[in-house]
């Protein structure tokens, strides 16, 4: 399955970014820079949604627009859970 979810990117003082997916419980990560944060965001999104699928947890509808604090920005992150399963050993 292919999914697209909005993520909130928060720049940190040290140049790192934290990333949160408000539509999904416990789905967050961070990166050393923006490129790393984008890579990590795709990974945690796929891992979270594979877990939802494996546990027959209802998958929430993605928000179109998120509430943001000063300095934060929203970006849409795409993932393919079938591809993620093929590339990773997933234990649930």
The predicted-structure confidence for 17-76, as pLDDT tens digits, reads as follows 999 999 999 999 999 999 999 999 999 999 999 999 999 999 999 999 999 999 999 999
Question: Is residue 42 within 8 Å of residue 77, measured between CB atoms?
Answer: yes
Cross-sheet strand order for the sheet of 73-80 = 28-31, 17-20, 2-11, 73-80
pTM, rounded to two decimals: 0.92
Written as six digits, the tokens of 73 are 């920005």
For residue 8, is pLDDT > 70? yes
- Give the pLDDT score at 90: 54
Residues forming beta bridges with residue 22, ordered by sequence position: none
Q: What is the predicted pLDDT for the residue at 91?
A: 54
């Amino acid at each position: 399955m292919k999914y697209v979810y909005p993520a909130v990117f928060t720049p940190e003082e040290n140049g790192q970014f934290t990333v949160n997916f408000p539509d999904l419980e416990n789905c967050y990560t961070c990166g050393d820079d923006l490129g790393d944060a984008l890579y990590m965001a795709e990974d945690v999104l796929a891992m979270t949604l594979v877990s939802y699928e494996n546990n027959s947890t209802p998958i929430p509808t993605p928000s179109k627009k998120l509430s943001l604090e000063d300095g934060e920005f929203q970006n849409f992150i795409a993932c393919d859970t079938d591809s993620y399963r093929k590339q990773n050993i997933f234990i649930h």
